[in-house]
Amino acid sequence: MPSNGALEPLLDGLASTVQLKNGHNDDDNQGLTRRVWIESKKLWQIVGPAIFSRLASFSMIVITQAFAGHLGDLELAAFSIANNVIVGLDIGLLLGMASALETLCGQAFGAKKYYMLGVYLQRSWIVLFLCCVLLLPLYIFASPLLKLMGQPKEIAELSGIVSLWFIPLHFSFAFQFPLQRFFQSQLKNIVTAWVALVALLVHIFLCWIFVYRLQLGVVGTALTLNFSWWVLVFGHLGYALCGGCPLTWTGFSMEAFSGLFEFAKLSAASGVMLCVENWYYKILILMTGNLNNAEIAVDALSICMSINGWELMIPFAFFAATGVRVANELGAGNGKGAKFATKVSVLTSVVIGLLFSLLIMFFHNGLALIFSSSEPVLKAVNKMSLLLSFTILLNSVQPILSGVAVGSGWQSYVAYINLGCYYLIGVPLGFLMGWGFNLGVMGIWVGMIFGGTAIQTMILAIITIRCDWEKEAEKASMQVEKLAETKDGHLK
């Protein structure tokens, strides 16, 4: 938990030395440039492949949405609602729950307790699979649920059909998300990148076959995602089972069924922390669906969210890398190393976010051509480009600070912050500006970004600034020792 020490600028003090404890080398004599270079190499060892794998995975969804968009405005709206709302609500929770592995596996790897990574992976599979079973009604009853939320009848009914075909995709998340974090925690991100490349190539081919050759329509788009995501699962699983992780994967173990309650608690806290953030933007689309001329508004906003989501894969890669670097350093008892890793990660991500924000401003006229040829939709997206640019810049900071929280194990604490900022401030403000001031989709978006995301980012920055990193390192070391195996193979 963050300390109550005096405030100091988050990015100030890059010249402060990274003093290592418990037998680590002392870097006092190293210059700032060399220390930034060393940390950047460690960071990009994770970030580079993570960016590619996340872009490839998200590109599957974007490519599928583009195919759906050229089928017609109704098909694009139906696919967007099914993907952004039904699958989005699902991913938000499962992705968050899987992020518990970033804390546990990252700290265990830093402490050289390699065996525990495989045990944690199997526990995560169990917990997430059970969660998938409980979430199944979300897909089965998607159509009446969307109608209850105020979506137009035609869009809700077609979205419900697409959602039923997304059920295999739903269960793939329970295995893919933990596998991805299992690999990144032990710095095997290049494996994830290669598997993602194969899956992306398979997906492009399947889209062409199912949508254009077999003319299966919007149902065909759902089928392609099902198949491609299971390629991701079996690609990662095959590498692990065939000896690619000899230290961290020693086979299936009954130990995975022990300590499930404690593991589920951390997974639940991680799930709440990230899902309330992920759901926030899905609520934005749902609120837009209740506006006049909802079809055009939903299409335009979903295109902006897809562009934002595409670029967001880069901050998400930094989120993952920051979580791993912080967890590794804390697990090794090196609090100052964790602090320095945070500073380098934030600075790097902000520079990249600024670059993409400027690109959006320069090319705002042609942003939507990938997804739609509808003139009203193109005009609507063009109007939103300035807000999209600002959102991208803001999102270059927020995920990295969330990564610090995951690496440090603050999930339950940050979950309350996210709930308060997003749902007590952001959603009401978006509703007020959208309907109270008749500003439509732009008002909803402005209210939710400035009311929720900006405030949440500011609070996370203050928490990170005030953190006592040495105390966090001591806590992490104690946790790893507590959860580590004893000689007889049982947990302490």
Taking each helix axis from N to C end, the angle separating 294-331 and 469-483, rounded to the nearest 10 degrees, works out to 80
Phi first, then psi, for residue 197 (nearest 5°) are -65, -45
426 in a structural domain: yes
Helix, strand, coil abundance in the chain, percent, nearest 5: 80, 0, 20
The string of pLDDT tens digits covering residues 400-431 is 888 788 777 777 778 788 888 888 898 889 88
pLDDT at 22: 41
In degrees, rounded to 5, the angle at the alpha carbon of residue 262 between the alpha carbons of residues 256 and 267 is: 90
Q: What is the pLDDT of residues 423-482, one digit of tens each?
A: 889 888 988 888 878 887 788 888 888 888 889 889 988 988 888 888 888 887 777 766
Q: In the chain, what percentage of residues exceed pLDDT 70?
A: 88
Tell whether 4 is covered by a domain: no
pLDDT of residue 18: 37
pTM: 0.72
Domain that residue 137 falls in: 32-483
Predicted local distance difference test score (pLDDT) of residue 492: 38
More confident residue, 27 or 350: 350
User: Is the residue at 421 inside a domain?
Assistant: yes
> Distance (Å, rounded) from C-alpha 294 to C-alpha 462?
39
**Segment 28-33 mean pLDDT:** 66
The answer to whether 33 and 176 are in contact (CB under 8 A) is no
pLDDT at 5: 42
What's the average model confidence in pLDDT over 103-131?
A: 86
Is residue 7 one of the residues assigned to a domain?
no
Q: What is the pLDDT of residue 1?
A: 45
Asked, for residue 26, whether it belongs to a domain, the answer is no
DSSP state at residue 215: -
Residue 5 resides in a domain? no
Q: Work out the mean pLDDT of the chain and round it to a whole number.
A: 80
Is position 462 within any domain?
A: yes
Give pLDDT, residue 415. Answer: 78
pLDDT tens readout for residues 126-166: 989 999 999 999 899 988 888 887 777 888 888 888 889 99
Evaluate whether 411 touches 352 at the Cβ level (below 8 Å). Answer: no
Q: What is the pLDDT of residue 178?
A: 92
Instruction: Please say whether the beta carbons of 263 and 120 come within 8 A.
Output: yes
SS3 485: strand
Name which of 465, 120, 445 is nearest 305 in CA terms.
445
Of the spans 16-25, 48-57, 371-380, which averages the highest pLDDT? 48-57
How far is residue 137 from each of residues 145, 172, 325, 354, measured CA to CA in Å? 10, 16, 38, 41
212 inside domain: yes
pLDDT attached to residue 171: 93
- Where on the phi/psi map is residue 112: left (φ > 0), alpha (ψ -120 to 50), or beta? left
Query: How many domains does the chain fold into?
Result: 1
